[in-house]
Amino acid sequence: MSNKNVNPNAKKALEEMKLEIANEIGVEANNKYGSNNTSYENSQLGGRVVGFMSKRLVKMSQQALLKQYNSKNDI
């Protein structure tokens, strides 16, 4: 499986989601390179953000599948 985006807008949407989640959990996202943190601290923060992104993407996919399944059964 490739890592290419199916939709060209997906990269921008994922970047926005990453910044939104970072803000929600209190991670400073305004310093792109995290020069005030050690590499270890940055990896820990990045791991937390990616974990939350994964959970949110799974939840969104489940909702989309349920919506699609329910619309087929309404016919």
At which residue do the structure tokens 């970047």 appear? 15
**What are the residue ranges spanned by the domains of the chain?**
14-73
Q: In this predicted model, what pLDDT tens digit does every residue of 55-65 receive, in sequence order?
A: 999 999 999 99
13-52 pLDDT, tens digit each: 888 998 888 888 877 655 555 557 777 777 777 888 889 9
pTM attached to this predicted model? 0.64
The stretches of the chain forming alpha helices (DSSP H) are 10-24, 39-73
